[in-house]
Structure 1
Amino acid sequence: MKKIILSAMMLTGMLTFAQEGKLTVSGTVDVYGTVNTIDGPGTPGLLVDSPQNATMFGLGMANTIFAYETGKAGAVVDLAYGPRAADAAGVNGINQLYAYYSVNDKLTITAGQFNTFLGYEVISPAANFNYTVSYLFNAGPFTHIGAKLDYAVSDDLSFMLAVTNPHGEFVTGYGSGNAQLGAQVGYKGQYFNLAYGADGFGATDQLYLDYTGGFDISETLYLGINAAYSSSSDAKSGYQGAALYLQNAFSDSFSLGLRPEFFQYNGDANADESVTAITLSANFTLTENLKLIAEGRYDSSDDMIIENTTAGAFPTEDSVTAFTVAAVYSF
């Protein structure tokens, strides 16, 4: 009898908890097939920063996001598994894990592990038009651990300030001298981003400047832009580059996009080494949840640094052409 009463009390508490807040579950699953023009398995940008892991058929990642919100506060647990997640999402299958509090309609405080505010592309392929990722995406931070303040002045203007650990390591216990500071100004869909400090790879003064934005050229044609610059006097390293995202929707179920990109390394070790990549992607919406991405990509570098795998999949290649078909399911 006591067990029955206890069970009823627990069930009542669970129902009350569910009624007070809102729990949502979403996620993605992606798989692919790829071929290229060299004698090797690698394909640039396919699995983020480890092209040597790309095989003829392969798995991307399984991503499940649990979000709970009640009143002014909420929490997000974003789990990601698979080769793509292992490259970019950190350790232990955690892509994001954070809590937030809305002080008012304009100010929100967030603390935990969250994806970077830098760059045009994101880790999940469901949110990108292209399946492969750019060199700019690979070079910049993926995820941060720390706290940030978001302030929306209006629908057009917003500000963000962040204090985080160095993004290259997913651990705690850093001293105050090893922090990374971040800031963002957003205006009418154009975002100017800055990060400065320790990067977790040996630099203590790494500077990141990033512009991400875009414009609707017509009702169906869109132009996205990403330009970035990074440098460090301490580590004598950095990069600069730009990518365009030209996308046209021919119908509700078919879109075509072109992404030209130029990327150059700076620093003593690889000064002025550069690579150019041109990616053509066709997006087919098969159902409300399933899309197919067919992609052709050409990478070229006189310095033979394609994907920067000088000791990996492309030790002697100055160019590579790859063809990829990916299926991305969202729920």
Structure 2
Amino acid sequence: MKHVLTLTLLLTTFFVSAQEDTEAPKKKFTFEGSLDAYFRTNFTAPNDDNQIAPETSFADTAGFSLGMANIIAAYEKGKVGAVADLVFGPRGEAASSTVLNQLYAYYNISENTKLTIGKFNTFLGYEVISPVGNFNYSTSYLFSNGPFSHTGLKADFTLSEDFSLMLGVFNQTDVTEFNPDGSYAIGAQVGYSDQFLNLLYDKAGLGFEIDYTGGFDATEDFFIGINAAYADNKGEGFYGANIYPQYKTTESLTIGLRGEFFQTQSDAIADDPSVFAITLTGSYVIDEDLIIKPEFRVDSGSEDIFIDTDLMATKSLGSFVVAAIYKF
């Protein structure tokens, strides 16, 4: 009788294990997004012309203004999945030619290798399109002059606990719905302990860009982010560097600064203009989901690239923004 019980237990264990092995992969669906709006005013320039603003992307209109609504749906089953990222509103329209901010499918070939095809936001730079992913609400010159999105195929490799590698081939930079002329761009990213060196070569579009993005924790509450880039497209391009110190004063309040130097370069211009910009931002979180961001910004150019309150050309522009961002 004892042997019969033992055999029964063994057979039961075998069939249960076999059933678990043949069960269909679990399905996982997630839904998230954000909404944002802001108020902006100039201190040193009129507010009756929306064009009097730093020449950077988004947050550039006067008075009460809309940002964007962002809806992200993701589905995963086993080793494959897909993401649909939709944007609506002025910020989304400026960043993407359609409501499709991102639309891609992926296949996890192994624990260390992932293939992605479709449209996805760029891997270059410190800042991103969604305000949820940035500390400062207004964006930098480096971000605004670099690529926003790519459509193509990329492969991500986890080489070790610290090292990662990405290789990809894409359509022209920010040409995301189709390929108009048969030209392609290639990109690569090498990562080590959250420090990333990014390369993009796009002969028919952006040209060549090399970008470093990283940062480190100076203390438990004090983080310093770093971004530097150089781009050249047949004698036209830019270079610059940003630093992002951020100090967490309480569980709800973090104060951060963005200091930026940005220089354009052109073979056709003898003395290319440059800009030095300082942005001081507070980030106050209410009930984990609502973020209030007051922001003071001063842009100073090497030439008279702005307008003062007397409608005279001047080298600097002071402005203030307060934004409300709700994430869900």
The alignment's TM-score, normalised by the length of structure 1, stands at 0.85
Distance 1:110 1:315 in 2: 51
Q: 1:137-216 counterparts in 2 under 5 A? A: 137-176=143-182, 178-198=183-203, 200=205, 206-216=207-217
The share of aligned pairs that are identical, in percent, is 45
With over 3 angstroms needed to count, the CA separation of the structure-2 counterparts of 1:196 and 1:315, relative to structure 1, is farther
In the TM superposition, what whole-angstrom CA distance separates every residue of 1:183-203 from its partner, at most 9, and x where no partner exists?
Answer: 000000100000002353xx6
Partner of 2:5: none
Is the 8 Å Cα contact of residues 217 and 223 (structure 1) preserved in structure 2? Answer: yes
With over 3 angstroms needed to count, the CA separation of the structure-2 counterparts of 1:92 and 1:45, relative to structure 1, is same
Indicate the SS of the match to 1:258: strand
Which structure 2 segments of 5+ residues have no match? 1-23
Letter in 2 for 1:180: A
1:34 deviation in Å? 1.0
65, 74, 79: which one aligns with 1:67: 74
- Aligned length, in residue pairs: 297
Is the 8 Å Cα contact of residues 214 and 224 (structure 1) preserved in structure 2? Answer: yes
1:55 deviation in Å? 2.0
1:20 deviation in Å? 4.0
Letter in 1 for 2:228: A
In the TM superposition, what whole-angstrom CA distance separates every residue of 1:90-132 from its partner, at most 9, and x where no partner exists?
Answer: 2221100000000000000000000000000000001110000
With over 3 angstroms needed to count, the CA separation of the structure-2 counterparts of 1:189 and 1:55, relative to structure 1, is same
With over 3 angstroms needed to count, the CA separation of the structure-2 counterparts of 1:238 and 1:45, relative to structure 1, is closer
Distance 1:127 1:82 in 2: 17
Partner of 2:65: 58
1:21 deviation in Å? 1.2
Distance 2:164 2:101 in 1: 25
Partner of 2:54: 44
Q: 1:307-318 counterparts in 2 under 5 A? A: 316-318=313-315
Distance 2:80 2:188 in 1: 23
RMSD after superposition: 2.0
In the TM superposition, what whole-angstrom CA distance separates every residue of 1:57-103 from its partner, at most 9, and x where no partner exists?
Answer: 00000000000000000000000011111111x22211000000000
Partner of 1:77: 84
In the TM superposition, what whole-angstrom CA distance separates every residue of 1:3-36 from its partner, at most 9, and x where no partner exists?
Answer: xxxxxxxxxxxxxxx9941111000000001110
With over 3 angstroms needed to count, the CA separation of the structure-2 counterparts of 1:45 and 1:68, relative to structure 1, is farther
Letter in 1 for 2:136: N
The alignment's TM-score, normalised by the length of structure 2, stands at 0.86
Distance 1:173 1:225 in 2: 33
116, 125, 128: which one aligns with 1:119: 125
Partner of 2:112: 106
1:237 deviation in Å? 0.5
Is the 8 Å Cα contact of residues 141 and 167 (structure 1) preserved in structure 2? Answer: yes
Indicate the SS of the match to 2:94: helix
303, 308, 329: which one aligns with 2:326: 329
1:316 deviation in Å? 3.4
Letter in 1 for 2:318: T
Distance 1:305 1:103 in 2: 51
Distance 2:204 2:93 in 1: 19
1:169 deviation in Å? 2.3
Distance 1:127 1:98 in 2: 19
Distance 2:324 2:287 in 1: 12
Asked if 1:96 corresponds to 2:95, the answer is no
- After TM superposition, the runs of 4+ consecutive aligned structure 1 residues lying more than 2 A away are 40-46, 168-171, 173-176, 268-272, 302-306, 314-317
Indicate the SS of the match to 1:43: coil
Distance 1:50 1:284 in 2: 19
1:168 deviation in Å? 3.4
Is the 8 Å Cα contact of residues 169 and 185 (structure 2) preserved in structure 1? Answer: yes
Partner of 2:134: 128
CA radius of gyration, larger in: 2
With over 3 angstroms needed to count, the CA separation of the structure-2 counterparts of 1:265 and 1:315, relative to structure 1, is farther
Partner of 2:257: 258
